[in-house]
Amino acid sequence: MKGRALVAKLLIVLLATTNVIAACPSVVQEVSDATKITAEEKQEVLEVAERFVRRMQETNDLTPLIGEIFVADYAERLHQEAINNSLFLMSKSVAEQASREELARYSLALNNCGYVGGLLLFRYKLAHAKEEDDNDGGDDEDSIAYFKKALPPDILELFKTNPILKGLFEDNTNEQTEEVAPDGQVEKSNADNGVQAQQSKADDDVQVKQFDADDDELIRNVEQLRSFTSTLELGAMLARKHLGQSSFKPTLLERHEGANDEENWAAERDRMKPRVWMLSKEFHGYPKDTRIFCANVLLYHMDLVRVDGKLKVLALYYNMD
């Protein structure tokens, strides 16, 4: 799948309300007794997944969870997996050149930006339901154009400073200059928000040679990786600022449209669908025949492994199926 289409699909995933079940990526064996999850194991998976959701609701930030529920050597395993199989939007050659800290930072920024972007998108969707209905079934360009409307102007301006993001979001639609709040009031963009001061000149000078938004490996060198990561981090920071200042604070649980919080939680738990697989080949450093537990958590697919008797998150990525 090409770069622009990948991004468009990701934007659709951010608003998905259907029960999507994703298997571990091409590394599972056929069903056997070892792939049957017990009631106790299912409860363990649900406890980790629920803790993840609650912490994300509290902080809008994946960072503290890395140290709380992920495997201790997460960065090292992610680095090796990236070298073996690449990462989202990145070539394998970049993974080979980048440090494990740079890849872990990139993955964190990508997942964080998706989450807070999803919240901004959901907030906009609730405030403009008719417009979202009109966009149902649209093509990739429609999805990207709709997402741009949901982003505050300062975030859009920030994205223009990065050649990759600028290329992905560039189209023939008129640029947004005002932010429409959920209560219908127009919020002016804060032109002096300091974003440009935080974006280093080195990042601004990074150019993407022969940029092609239809390429599925948009990040082709370490300099582009660093610039892209830095921009996503600043974008997530600005998104948290907007979400914190808004009087309208929906959570992603509310996409289930239950009558109350209890019903929404019940729907989210049902969507998690805990399950277990046997690896048919190495995955994040774990060998063939390792049992990997899986769950759908918000917009992510979560893989877990047992470490010293406890389930720990091994991998987290967008649920694109």
pLDDT of residue 218: 82
Task: Answer whether residue 19 shows pLDDT above 70.
Answer: no
Q: Look at residue 121 in the predicted model and tell me its pLDDT.
A: 87
Cβ distance 279 to 51 under 8 Å?
A: no
Count how many domains the chain has: 1
- Distant-in-sequence, close-in-space partners of 317: CB < 8 Å, separation ≥ 6: 88, 111, 300, 301
Q: Is the pLDDT of residue 154 over 80?
A: yes
Model pTM? Answer: 0.77
Cα distances (Å, whole numbers) of residue 113 to 116, 300, 318: 5, 13, 11
Say how far apart CA 318 and CA 297 lie, in whole Å. 10
Give the residue from 188, 166, 175 showing the smallest Cα distance to 148. 175
pLDDT at 260: 86
pLDDT tens sequence across 251-289: 888 877 877 889 989 999 999 999 999 999 999 999 999
Which range of 24-38, 76-90, 283-297 scores highest in mean pLDDT? It is 283-297
Quick one: 314 exposed, middle or buried, by C-beta within 10 A (0-12, 13-18, 19+)? buried
Domain hosting 278: range is: 3-318
Q: Which residue has the higher pLDDT, 190 or 254?
A: 254
With 50 as the cut, is the pLDDT of residue 93 above it? yes
∠ CA 230-100-227, nearest 5°, is: 20
Side-chain half-sphere exposure of 4, counting CA atoms within 13 A: 17
